[in-house]
Amino acid sequence: MTKPKWLAGNDLISLFQRIGRASLLLDLQDSHSGNMAVLWTDEKGEKKIVITSTGSQKGELEPEHICFISHDETDFGYYKASSESDIHAGVLALDGVHASMHCHTKNLNIVTLDDKDKPNQPDPFIPVDPLGFYHCKESIPIDWVKVPSGSPEMAAIIPKRLLQHPVTAIQTHGAFMRGRTLPETFFLASIAENSAYIVRLMGKLNININILCKKALKDHRSIFQYKPPEYTVNDDDVCDFLQEKELVKEFYKAGARIFESRISPFHTGSISIRGVNTMLYAPKAAMPRDIGGPLLEISLKEDISDNPEIRMHKVIYSNSDFQSVMHCYIPEAEAQARYIYPGESEPRDRIIAIDAEGSFLYPAIPVVSHDVDEETLLHLLHDYKVVVVKGGGVWSVGGQSISEVLHHPSSVREICYIRIGVIEQGLDLGKMEPKKAKRW
């Protein structure tokens, strides 16, 4: 194939590079694995598939690593189109789909393995966290194939699966996603892998995952706080307060830290700062440094059209003097909130830090049910500044500084991470908890 000139300009290649780097940061790929593709129309009006070359380093993509192919063309080899081009072509032929992605999602690979005789039909993966359950449409289909890499069997199965589901996976090989844009496919990859990581953590804590799956499928409202807002596209460059340069910088700094520290999956969670009559609001809090997300100015007055996420920010501000609010979906906190101590029958209403810094800053962190009422949540935020909601993420509040409010979810992740490690080692967690924290 003679590769055409880079007619799409710098924007498209830059997007491939930025998504590639971000996927490597999240450990969704190894140095050379996976592939990305989008539909693109050239100057003659002809549709082409723009796809990463086989064996290219997704974190170090250069223009020569991007291939332009037609729907019925395959071209393999060094610096040639991915060997799974036919799979992506089938996915991109689906109505409304303009981007596709394949990731070697390690956690999803692990939690969907089985040792049954082959061939067999593996069970679908059921997320037990709100992000995965809602955004992946309740389940991720898992298929076993004889040749799990670029095979005709995969090319037949994957587009059919993605016709009904936004994410599907091939056992031992990884996940495939489809979306309207490349960032949306990366969002789905992040969500799917995060959900699998939560299930792995719950397994370490001996939490009955099957019961949670059944409850979620029977009535999702019985375990989740609310349905997260739908993912929005083509709005990541929107900024309603460009003149506030220092604040814009602080939003992006916090967003990058949330993403890089895995405090919340890509483009999830939210950040806000109170103004006089408005709040400055980031609806996609976890923002890689070179991808970003929308920054909006929204009236503090409650509106019937507010989604549950925005409404919660407004409720907090209207009933307090807090100046900043942050909401994150911390996987370690989601798992820890459902942990049941040996000999007990229900999770406790608090998480107690056993590490030095955590126990100094947070003698206890309250844990509430998914159906907690607003008055109780507000009262706990007043007293503790941070609250873990089972099936609802972590809410935290602070003063004017975004950095101040960021400290809370960052600390919560570390506290929960260490507690899970203690349980994993078979140590007695109860003996290690400060006694005063049980009364605080």
Taking the model in full, what pTM does it have?
0.94
Alpha-carbon gap, residue 241 to 1, rounded angstroms: 47
Instruction: Report the pLDDT value the prediction gives residue 439, as an integer from 0 to 100.
Output: 65
The pLDDT value recorded for residue 309 is 97
Residue 1 has pLDDT above 60, yes or no: no
Does residue 388 lie in a domain region?
A: yes
Same domain (yes/no): 251, 336 = yes
> pLDDT confidence of 60, banded at 50, 70, 90?
confident
- pLDDT band at 47, cuts 50/70/90? confident
In sequence order, what are the beta bridge partners of 37?
A: 51, 100
Confidence of residue 231 (pLDDT cuts 50, 70, 90): very high
Asked whether residue 177 falls in the same domain as residue 252, the answer is: no
Residue position matching structure tokens 């610096």: 79
Tokens of 295: 């920054």
Query: In the predicted model, is pLDDT for residue 374 greater than 90?
Result: yes
Angstrom distance (rounded) from CA 354 to CA 266: 29
For residue 311, is it within any domain? yes
Say whether both 154 and 258 belong to one domain. no
Range of the domain at 434: 245-438
| Per-residue confidence band for 71, with pLDDT thresholds at 50, 70 and 90 | low
Tell me which of 317 and 79 has the higher pLDDT: 317
pLDDT over 90 at 81, yes or no: no
pLDDT number for residue 4:
38
Is there a single domain that holds both residue 281 and residue 321?
yes
The CATH number of whichever domain residue 54 belongs to comes to 3.40.225.10
The predicted pLDDT at position 9 comes to 44
If asked whether residues 290 and 406 sit together in one domain, one would say yes
Question: Quick one: 314 and 209 in the same domain?
Answer: no
Q: Are residues 69 and 163 in the same domain?
A: yes
pLDDT computed for residue 423 by the predictor: 96
Confidence of residue 440 (pLDDT cuts 50, 70, 90): low
**Band of residue 79 on the pLDDT scale cut at 50, 70, 90:** very low
Burial of 369 from C-beta contacts in 10 A (0-12 / 13-18 / 19+): middle
Stretch 221-232: mean pLDDT:
96
So what's the pLDDT on residue 150?
Answer: 81
Contact, 171 vs 148, CB < 8 A? yes
Same domain, 160 and 70: yes
pLDDT digits (tens, 9 = 90+) for 95-137: 999 999 999 999 999 999 999 999 999 999 999 999 999 999 9
Chain centre distance of CA 68: 30
Q: Has residue 286 been placed in a domain?
A: yes
Beta-carbon count within 10 A of 205 CB: 16
Phi/psi-derived region of residue 88, left when phi > 0, alpha when psi is between -120 and 50, beta in every other case: alpha
Listed residue (307, 301, 337, 330) closest to 395, CA to CA: 330
For residue 6, pLDDT over 50 is answered with no
Q: Is the pLDDT of residue 21 over 70?
A: yes
Phi, psi of 180 (to 5 degrees): -80, -30
Mean pLDDT value across residues 313-318: 97
Contact of 411 with 389, CB cutoff 8 Å = no
* Residue 229 counted as domain residue: no
Looking at the structure of the chain, the number of domains it has is: 2
Query: Mean pLDDT of all residues in the chain?
Result: 92
Answer whether residue 346 is part of any domain.
Answer: yes
Same-domain pairing of 289 and 201:
no
Query: Do 153 and 144 contact (CB within 8 A), yes or no?
Result: no
**pLDDT value, residue 66:** 86
For CA atoms 86, 31, 260, 212, give the dihedral sign: positive
Shared domain for 409 and 307, answered yes or no, is yes
Six-digit token string for 62: 């250069």
Give whole-number Cα distances, 327 to 36, 263, 273, in Å.
30, 10, 12
The reply to whether 234 falls in a domain is no
On whether the CB atoms of residues 294 and 238 are closer than 8 A, the answer is yes
Lowest mean pLDDT among 2-11, 93-102, 239-248: 2-11
How confident is the model over 128-173, as pLDDT tens digits?
A: 999 999 999 999 999 999 998 888 999 999 999 999 999 999 999 9
Does pLDDT of 73 surpass 80? no
Together in a domain, 23 and 95: yes
Within-domain flag for 392? yes
Percent of the chain predicted with pLDDT > 90:
81
Residue 80 has pLDDT above 70, yes or no: no
Co-location of 273 and 132 in the same domain: no
Separation between Cα atoms, residue 395 and residue 205, nearest integer Å: 23
Is 236 part of a structural domain of the chain? no
Distances from the Cα of 141 to the Cαs of 92, 113, 163, 175, 311, in angstroms?
19, 13, 12, 10, 33
Q: Give the span between the Cα atoms of 333 and 409, in whole angstroms.
A: 9
Query: Does the pLDDT at position 245 exceed 60?
Result: yes
Report the alpha-carbon angle 316-257-275, nearest 5.
35
Instruction: Give every CB contact of residue 345 below 8 A, 6+ residues apart in sequence.
Output: none
